[in-house]
Every structure is written in C-alpha cells, then in structure tokens.
Amino acid sequence: MGRPAVILVMCGSSIATSNLAAVKLENEAKRRKVKIVTKKGKIADMNTLISTMKPDLIVATAQTGARDDIKVFSGVPLISTVGQEKLYDDIFAYIESMGLGQ
C-alpha cells in the first residue's frame, strides 16, 4: 500500500506518558503488521511540531482542543488501559483508510 503512518504522540511535558503511549502504539503496530513511525512532543509545541514533522495523526495524552487540519485521538486509554483495544482499532482503521502503513 503506502508509506508508514507518521504518528505524533503528545503529552504535557514529552517525558513520560508520550513515551509510554508511543511504545504501546509501536508494539500494537508490530502485532498488526502495520508500519508506523512515532514522534514525540509536548502539547505546548503542537503547532510547530505539526508544521515541521507533518504527522498523519496525533495521539495526545493531554487536552489539545479541536483541530480541523489533522485527526487527533485521545491517548488516555493507552495510559489507563480502559478502552485501549477500541482506541487501537480506531487508530489502525484510520491509518488503513488513509492507505498508509502497509
């Protein structure tokens, strides 16, 4: 299909939760045989990171606000594990719908 999906994983400080969420996404992508590249950042730098990294989607473990220019998924289920499987299904269905990751 297409190139790997670029996922910008964001949290408040880009230290702990974004790293945990990125590792979980990478492991699930391997399990599903979907190619992704994760990049990490903090919410305060979101606009700059979007313009420089050109991600296909964002997974945020903190509040980002609504955006019209890029799909944003709440990454809270990756930290709490409540709803984690549904989030994986939603993210990987979105990646597939964009023709990416294969």
pLDDT, tens digit (0-9, with 9 covering 90-100), for 48-101 = 999 999 999 999 998 887 678 899 999 999 999 999 999 999 999 999 999 999
Distances (CA, A) of 100 to 4, 36, 62, 71, 85: 6, 9, 25, 14, 20
102 within domain boundaries:
no
Count how many Cα atoms sit within 13 Å of the Cα of residue 77 in the half-sphere of its side chain: 14
Q: Which residue has the higher pLDDT, 13 or 79?
A: 79
Residue 1 scores a pLDDT above 80:
no
Domain with residue 80: its CATH number is 3.40.50.2300
Contact between 99 and 4 under an 8 Å Cβ cutoff? The reply is no
pLDDT, tens digit (0-9, with 9 covering 90-100), for 20-61 = 999 999 999 999 999 999 999 999 998 999 999 999 999 999
* Residue range of the domain that includes 67: 5-97
